[in-house]
Amino acid sequence: QSALTQPASVSGSPGQSITISCTGTSSDVGAYNYVSWYQQHPGKAPKLMIYDVSNRPSGVSNRFSGSKSGNTASLTISGLQAEDESDYYCSSYTSSSTLWVFGGGTKLTVL
């Protein structure tokens, strides 16, 4: 049971937009603007895509955006491309003794 709740899968067609939700609590997502999103292709290391809710690291496409409302954060990918097909994980800093919590991951399928 992951600390943050994500849908197991989402799908979309090339060119469309999709949104992945990440629901936590008032001790993590709701308490801090320290939500990050990671992309992980099979057999590869995770790659940071969004940090501090809505900031993109250098080199990450502006098709990726993040937001937060209350205890739920969201990752939106616009203009879907085949290479976006991957697993996506959210993460948040938390006030609990476990300093970071992750979501269970969402498999994005580009149809």
Helix/strand/coil (H/E/C) assignment for every residue in 72-107: EEEEEECCCCHHHCEEEEEEEECCCCCCEEEECCEE
CB of 67 to another protein, least distance (A): 16
Segment 15 to 54, residues that bind another protein, using CB under 8 A: 32, 34, 36, 38, 44-48, 51-52
Nearest partner of 64 among 48, 40, 42, 46, judged by Cα = 48
Residues in contact with another protein, counted by CB under 8 A, come to a total of 25
64 is a site residue for another protein (CB under 8 A): no
Segment 2 to 21, residues that bind another protein, using CB under 8 A: 2
Residue with tokens 């938390």: 94
| Interaction site with another protein (CB under 8 A) | 2, 32, 34, 36, 38, 44-48, 51-52, 57, 89, 91, 93, 97-105
